[in-house]
Amino acid sequence: MSLVIVGSVAFDTIETPLGRRERIVGGSGTYCSLAASFFTRPRIVAVVGRDFPRRTLAFLRSRRVDLEGLKIKAGKTFHWEGRYETDLNRRTTVRTELNVFADFRPAVPARYAPARIVYLANLDPEHHDLILRQFRRPALLAMDTIRLWIDSRREALLRELRRIDVFFANDEEARLISGEANLVAAGRALLRMGPSLAVVKKGEHGALIFGPDGIFGVLAHPCEHVVDPTGAGDSFAGGFLGHLDRVPRRTAKEIHRAAVYGSVLASFTIEDFGIGRFLTLQPREVEERYRQFRKLSSF
């Protein structure tokens, strides 16, 4: 049981129709590891600046997130600023200050090397190799990406797709990478590009999972007041991979359950700004919502 998450731990400034928050804690690695912490003891590889709040690190530790791979460097923490429109699927990046993340060349602690699952969250695909060389031979290699790399690193991205097992993309990214407008066609095209599992996330509409046994969909939990969609995708990945890390075999059934847990964790994340919801979220709430998903999907 070991999941290593390589991603960003950052500050976000976020504006949604429900308000604005300045420099709150965010980052793909943060969301993903908090979500995964409900299933396993995730290990994180990331970098922050000296300005990063110690109480957040203490909180992550209290949630069983292993921080040996988190480097604290002189300088300022990665800071992203984004704005969501009334249609929460539309988001604009206002500013990106890479800061200490700019020359992030992750050093993976030796203790992490035998990881069973490795997740590369939104990293520059050119850096994957440097990271993966530091692992022995993960049973499952997963990655996510962002529009920036699709536009600027297409070749490296396509190369990385060929060697991974699980690819997470949102609908827009799936369309951009595959060149297919129809999402079902897009998902199938992604499979032909390498991964054995492609997870296409659709925000409020749930997700489609494409794999060797065909396609299945998972719904999103109906949420009337989406406070802040930031981190929903990373939380999905965390719930998904966290569950897969705790089960002995990745059967079709467990992959389905993993996707439902992904949707469950994402549904909590959007209920508050940043990682706010995780501060109080209890395992029994996660299980209760999972059971609700099961109840509502049986007919």
Rounded to the nearest 5°, which phi and psi values hold at 292? -65, -45
Q: Chain-centre distance of CA 84, in angstroms?
A: 19
Q: Which position among 87, 155, 280, 284 is part of the footprint of a copy of itself (CB under 8 A)?
A: 87
Q: Which of 253, 279, 283, 287 binds a copy of itself (CB under 8 A)?
A: 253
Q: What part of residues 150-209 is at the interface with a copy of itself (CB under 8 A)?
A: 181-185, 188, 202, 204-206, 208
Of residues 112 and 210, the one with the C-beta less far from a copy of itself: 210
Report the amino acid identity of residue 2: S
Residues 208-247 vs a copy of itself: string with x where CB under 8 A? Answer: x-----xxxx-xx-xxxxx---------------------
Figure out which of the listed residues 201, 243, 250, 257 binds a copy of itself, where binding follows CB under 8 A.
257
Cβ-proximal residues to 195 (8 Å cutoff; 6+ apart), any chain: 161, 164, 165, 166, 167
| CA distance linking residue 216 with residue 224, whole number of Å | 25
Closest approach of a copy of itself to the CB of residue 27, in Å: 26
- Measured CA to CA, the distance from residue 64 to residue 16 in angstroms comes to 30
Q: Beta strands 79-84 and 10-16: pairing type?
A: parallel
Q: How far apart are CA 204 and CA 17, in angstroms?
A: 16
117 is written with which tokens? Answer: 């699952």
**CA-CA-CA-CA dihedral for 76, 95, 262, 246, to nearest 10:** -20
Give the nearest distance from C-beta 136 to a copy of itself in angstroms: 31
- Of residues 19 and 114, the one with the C-beta less far from a copy of itself: 19
What is the closest distance, in whole angstroms, from the C-beta atom of residue 31 to a copy of itself in the complex? 22
Minimum Å distance from CB 78 to a copy of itself? 31
Binding site for a copy of itself (CB under 8 A): 86-87, 181-185, 188, 202, 204-206, 208, 214-217, 219-220, 222-226, 253, 256-257, 260, 294, 296-299
